[in-house]
Amino acid sequence: MTKKELLRGLPKIDEVLKQESLVVLSEEKGDLMVTEAVRAVIAGLRASILDLSDKKAEEFDASALEIEAVAEAAEAKVLRDEELNLYPLINATGTILHTNLGRAPLCRDAVENVARVSKGYSDLEYNVPKGKRGSRHDLVGDLIAELTGAEDAMVVNNNAAATMIVLATIGAGKEIVVSRGELVEIGGAFRIPDIMRQSGAYLQEVGTSNKTKASDYESAIITKQQAEEAKLNMDPRGGMRFETGALMKVHKSNYDIVGFTEEASLEELVEIGRKYDLPVIFDMGNGLMLDMSAYGLNEPNIPASLATGIDVMLFSGDKLLGGPQAGIIVGKKKYIKAMKKHPLARAMRVDKMTFAALEATLMKYRDPKVALRDIPVLNMISASGEEMRAKAERLADAIKRVNPALSLELVPVEDQIGGGSAPMVRLPGWAVSVKDGMKSADRTERKLRKAEVPVVARINEDRLLLCVRTIAEDELETVAEALRK
Ligand SMILES: *Cc1c(COP(=O)(O)O)cnc(C)c1O
């Protein structure tokens, strides 16, 4: 056909929309989207016809212009345009709290509770027995108190928000004493000194990068009277001083200082705090609730840290606690109460979905055995070498069934906690190493990422590794499927 004939052969939008498949689709997705898709398909065809040489026009397959073909293409476009940008994938890196991959996966009960609570109305801010307004802050306060020994608790958006509201409430216009060895950057431009400035508190650094003694904190304390006097006798080189508002310890979550080092313990800070009537704040970060030293994790845990007498402690919900993104503040009632009244509390409050996931996750901690079994993060940390070797064998078998041409090998690996937690901990794990003929590891890695359910693997010395610690049992077949020829 000539180009003119082809152009004349293009169907009209209205004709295509009468196709049964598109009538049904319009009812489901709305007619605007379907009409737009038909218009786009026809416009695309017109543009490609206009681009043809006369010779190519003769060879053009005119069946693409038929009404049914255009309707089919439009339907495919509608479905393609509907694909969501946030979707699940499989983590085969062996890094448990992978920040890029959404940190902690939720336990099943947390997921079910989110659906149960958020599909309709809930008692988020309503006291049902009393028939009057309630507070969302009361939803998990008692449970957290029971589990941690804290007097009270408050939940905000994440630990960065928690740091901000703690400092703004306790430290605005005052000095907060922090060790130079703990002026942490967590990543993504979250630096303790910057947050401190934003909160209106003044950072008073003490000690050196590698050594800070308890006495360094004590000698940095300034009383209100001293601060006034300092203002009167301002030394032009000295600068302004303010009264001390709190002593703060920041857990070295994502780095370690080794060698000639010293740091003040929580107990020592609590003692100084008592002596000067100053609160002690501990940004503990990782949210570890149980003693996991039996699994190689020698990190402070929440109840043990609180038992030292800390006044305010804060941590993330989606690191080692294994729950939703949240910042949890626990401690003495008088401070938590002031934070709940702070104007920032409204800006940082969390949604019912977060409370639903958090409460169901926390409930597991009533029995540590249940927490270790049901909370994915803890379950992955505590998985034994034999369990993981057996899982790697099951994965290799599944891959062999799908693609017998691949060379597979079971190899021991070192997995990590990740998410800026316990950077020095290496968990002995197992992986399936995959070699696809002469193809490079990079090429196989790309193939895995392009699968229907993408699989993110680890590459080590040009070896493609599927680390089984972070692959759920019911994902093994899907990983194998991604390697189909
Ligand atoms: C992770 C971490 C933060 C930041 O927590 P987010 O929940 O990511 O906002 C702050 N402080 C410490 C010590 C941390 O480990």
pLDDT tens for the 485 residues of the chain, in order = 898 999 999 999 999 999 999 999 999 999 999 999 999 999 999 999 999 998 888 888 889 999 999 999 999 999 988 889 999 999 999 999 999 999 999 999 999 999 999 999 999 999 999 999 999 999 999 999 999 999 999 999 999 999 999 999 999 999 999 999 998 777 667 788 888 889 999 999 999 888 899 999 999 999 888 888 877 776 666 678 899 999 999 998 777 788 888 889 999 999 999 999 999 999 999 999 999 999 989 889 999 999 999 999 999 999 999 999 999 999 999 999 999 999 999 999 999 999 999 999 999 999 999 999 999 999 999 999 999 999 999 999 999 999 999 999 999 999 999 887 787 889 999 999 999 999 999 999 999 999 999 999 999 988 999 999 999 999 999 999 999 98
d(CA 6, CA 203) in angstroms, rounded, equals 74
Q: Does domain 108-369 have CATH number 3.40.640.10?
A: yes
Overall CATH class of domain 90-97+379-482: alpha beta
Which pLDDT does position 188 carry in this prediction? Answer: 67
User: Which atom number of ligand 1 is nearest to the Cα of residue 253?
Assistant: 15
- Ligand 1 pocket: which of 190, 329, 358, 421 to mutate (most atoms <8 Å of CB)? 190
Q: How far is the CA of 128 from the centre of ligand 1 (A)?
A: 35
Tokens coding 45: 């065809």
Q: Which residues line ligand 1 (CB under 6 A)?
A: 158-160, 163, 184, 186, 190, 250-251, 253, 283, 285-286, 316, 327, 420
d(CA 168, CA 170) in angstroms, rounded, equals 6
- Ligand 1 pocket: which of 186, 253, 314 to mutate (most atoms <8 Å of CB)? 186
d(CA 215, CA 275) in angstroms, rounded, equals 13
Are the C-beta atoms of 10 and 46 separated by less than 8 Å? yes
Which pLDDT does position 258 carry in this prediction? Answer: 81
Virtual torsion, Cα 288, 294, 297, 299, nearest 10 deg: 50
Q: How far is the CA of 55 from the centre of ligand 1 (A)?
A: 65
Q: How far is the CA of 162 from the centre of ligand 1 (A)?
A: 9
SS3 of 244, please? Answer: strand
d(CA 444, CA 483) in angstroms, rounded, equals 8
Hey, how many other C-beta atoms are within 10 angstroms of the C-beta on 163? 26
d(CA 283, CA 302) in angstroms, rounded, equals 11
Which pLDDT does position 235 carry in this prediction? Answer: 66
DSSP assignment of 128-182, as one string? TTTTEE--GGGTTHHHHHHHH--SEEEEESSHHHHHHHHHHHHHTTSEEEEEGGG
Q: How far is the CA of 152 from the centre of ligand 1 (A)?
A: 20
Q: How far is the CA of 316 from the centre of ligand 1 (A)?
A: 6
Q: How far is the CA of 103 from the centre of ligand 1 (A)?
A: 12
d(CA 466, CA 392) in angstroms, rounded, equals 9
d(CA 470, CA 101) in angstroms, rounded, equals 11
* Residue 313 φ then ψ, to 5°: -135, 145
Hey, how many other C-beta atoms are within 10 angstroms of the C-beta on 200? 12
SS3 of 447, please? Answer: helix
Q: How far is the CA of 426 from the centre of ligand 1 (A)?
A: 21
The number of residues making up the chain comes to: 485
User: Which atom number of ligand 1 is nearest to the Cα of residue 163?
Assistant: 10
- Residues 6 or more apart whose CB falls under 8 angstroms from that of 185 comprise 191, 192
Which pLDDT does position 238 carry in this prediction? Answer: 62
Strand partners, 85: none
Q: How far is the CA of 329 from the centre of ligand 1 (A)?
A: 12
Closest CA to ligand 1's atom 13: 285
SS3 of 112, please? Answer: helix
Q: How far is the CA of 159 from the centre of ligand 1 (A)?
A: 5
Listed residue (277, 270, 207) closest to 243, CA to CA: 277
Taking only the tens place, the pLDDT of each residue in 174-202 is 999 999 999 877 766 778 888 888 999 99
Report the chain's terminal Cα–Cα distance, integer Å: 40
Hey, how many other C-beta atoms are within 10 angstroms of the C-beta on 294? 8
Q: CA torsion sign, 28 to 29 to 33 to 39?
A: negative
Taking only the tens place, the pLDDT of each residue in 405-460 is 999 999 999 999 988 778 788 999 999 999 999 999 999 999 999 999 999 999 99
Instruction: Detail the DSSP E strand segments found in 32-92.
Output: 90-92
Closest CA to ligand 1's atom 1: 285
User: Which atom number of ligand 1 is nearest to the Cα of residue 190?
Assistant: 4
Q: How far is the CA of 295 from the centre of ligand 1 (A)?
A: 23
- Ligand 1 pocket: which of 316, 321, 421 to mutate (most atoms <8 Å of CB)? 316
Tokens coding 240: 């302004």
d(CA 479, CA 445) in angstroms, rounded, equals 12
Tokens coding 169: 């409430």
Closest CA to ligand 1's atom 11: 285
d(CA 348, CA 39) in angstroms, rounded, equals 44
- Ligand 1 pocket: which of 155, 249, 253 to mutate (most atoms <8 Å of CB)? 253
- Ligand 1 pocket: which of 97, 159, 299, 313 to mutate (most atoms <8 Å of CB)? 159
Residue-range domain boundaries for the chain: 3-81, 90-97+379-482, 108-369
Question: How many CA atoms, within 13 angstroms, populate the side-chain half-sphere of residue 16?
Answer: 27
d(CA 8, CA 65) in angstroms, rounded, equals 10
Q: How far is the CA of 161 from the centre of ligand 1 (A)?
A: 9
Residue type, 224: K
Q: How far is the CA of 293 from the centre of ligand 1 (A)?
A: 21
Q: Determine if residue 421 is left, alpha or beta; phi over 0 gives left, psi from -120 to 50 gives alpha, anything else beta.
A: beta
According to the 3-state scheme, what is the secondary structure of 275-328?
HHCCCEEEEEECCCCCCCHHHCCCCCCHHHHHCCCCCEEEEECCCCCCCCCCEE
Which pLDDT does position 193 carry in this prediction? Answer: 86
**Helix extents (H) in 82-140:** 108-118
